[in-house]
Amino acid sequence: MVEVAASIGAMILAAARERGAEPNALAAHAEFDSSLGGDPDARIPLRVETLLWDEAARLTGDNAFGLHAAEGLRPGVFDVVDYAVRTAPTLRVSLERLARYNRLVHDAAVFNLVEDGDAVRVEHSLRGVNQSLHATEFTLASLVVVGGQIRGLPICPLQATFRHAAAGSMPEYLRVLGVEPSFLANDNTLTFSRELLERPLSTTDPLLSRVIERHAEALLARRPIPVETAAARVRRLLCETLGRDEAASTLSGLSQRLRMSERSLQRRLADEGQTFDALLDELRHELALRYLADKTLAIAEVAFLLGYSEPSAFHRAFKRWTGKTPTQARQHAA
């Protein structure tokens, strides 16, 4: 089961309370034991975290709830990880520490730093599972908010991208992130100038930084090694069979490959906040964008590679994902 630190749940409750929601009702909806919030070792299922994000946004009527929750972050919310990030000598080291130590608060979240000329792209994803779009927006916005707090001045990314469609208003994204994001992208990313990330931070205490880093390393050594989630296994098998073996790409076929019943597989996916249909749809969307970028593939061939029996079904799905037809998307990318 994918788990996250209970402090994340407590942070969501506090952010919802600030925006007028009743925290007890929110906790009850997600079956979250709020007494766990003060225990740095307590963990909750990812499914509970997802329910908290989505219900908090609904109760507050705030489509940009994740962005606004990030604005309310203060030092210490995420215990050792937070202090390891905030005591780094540069913003780049801060991000590197986040990438290394984030497993202390989240089993599945992954951060990758990718060199891109004079810039560095921070890619955020979950190992084979989905998360609430509000959680995604919180995560990227928190990099901007906490980075500004560390530096003592606002920081502004060069670019931001989200895999989901816009939930809030563009002016609000611009206000919080400092840049207008692109949506329905391949990845959730923030791109910063290398000069900004490598600029020394004058307020750093090197001794304190080393002490906290040693403590974080000791805690990380005690955490279990991540195992492949049920969703990750399903996604991997779908990549192997989609467009090649129709029967093997179904819930029934994958359950047999994994040697479990359909009901057991569905239950394991639900524990990770995921469903088979959502995984299949997400993978098809991802692969569709990749295949359409290859002009040597006919659109009918792309539909076949994605496991659609008829091109018309692919056209309908692609229009739902992007608001465009496959032909329009290919022409726009040209």
Instruction: Supply the DSSP symbol for 110.
Output: E
Angstrom distance (rounded) from CA 92 to CA 82? 15
Domain containing residue 106: 63-222
Element (H, E) at 170: helix 170-177
Three-state secondary structure call for residue 4: strand
Angstrom distance (rounded) from CA 265 to CA 252? 10
The pLDDT value recorded for residue 128 is 64
For residue 26, tell me if it sits in a domain: no
Residue 279 and residue 164 share a domain: no
Please state at what angle helix 133-151 crosses helix 170-177, rounded to 10 degrees: 40
For residue 57, tell me if it sits in a domain: no
The pLDDT value recorded for residue 140 is 97
Q: Which two three-digit tokens encode residue 12?
A: 């969501």
In terms of average pLDDT, the best of 27-31, 142-146, 303-307 is 142-146
The model's pLDDT over 153-202, given as tens digits with 9 standing for 90+, comes to 999 999 999 988 888 899 999 999 999 999 888 789 999 999 999 999 98
What backbone phi and psi angles, to 5 degrees, belong to 110? -130, 135
The count of other CB atoms within 10 Å of the CB of residue 83 is 20
99 exposure class (CB count in 10 Å sphere: 0-12, 13-18, 19+):
middle
Among the candidates 193, 222, 251, a domain finishes at 222
Nearest to 4 by CA among 31, 26, 37: 37
Task: Please give the tally of structural domains in the chain.
Answer: 2
Residues 288-312, mean pLDDT to the nearest whole number: 87
Residues 146-152, mean pLDDT to the nearest whole number: 94
Residue 208 and residue 98 share a domain: yes
Residue 334 has pLDDT above 70, yes or no: no
44: left (phi over 0), alpha (psi -120 to 50) or beta: beta
Residues 302-318, mean pLDDT to the nearest whole number: 91
In contact, 273 and 46? CB cutoff 8 Å: yes
The count of other CB atoms within 10 Å of the CB of residue 223 is 11
For residue 46, tell me if it sits in a domain: no
> Is beta strand 188-193 parallel, antiparallel or unpaired with respect to 119-126?
antiparallel
Residue 198 and residue 104 share a domain: yes
What type of residue is 126? L
Residue 245 and residue 277 share a domain: yes
In contact, 198 and 218? CB cutoff 8 Å: no
The gap from C-alpha 220 to its chain's centroid, in whole angstroms, comes to 21
Among the candidates 199, 222, 245, a domain finishes at 222
Residue 196 and residue 113 share a domain: yes
Facing residues of 124 across strands?
111, 188
Three-state secondary structure call for residue 57: helix
For residue 253, tell me if it sits in a domain: yes
Instruction: Supply the DSSP symbol for 180.
Output: P
> Is beta strand 43-45 parallel, antiparallel or unpaired with respect to 109-116?
unpaired
In contact, 323 and 315? CB cutoff 8 Å: no
Among the candidates 201, 222, 243, a domain finishes at 222
Q: Which two three-digit tokens encode residue 314?
A: 């692919």
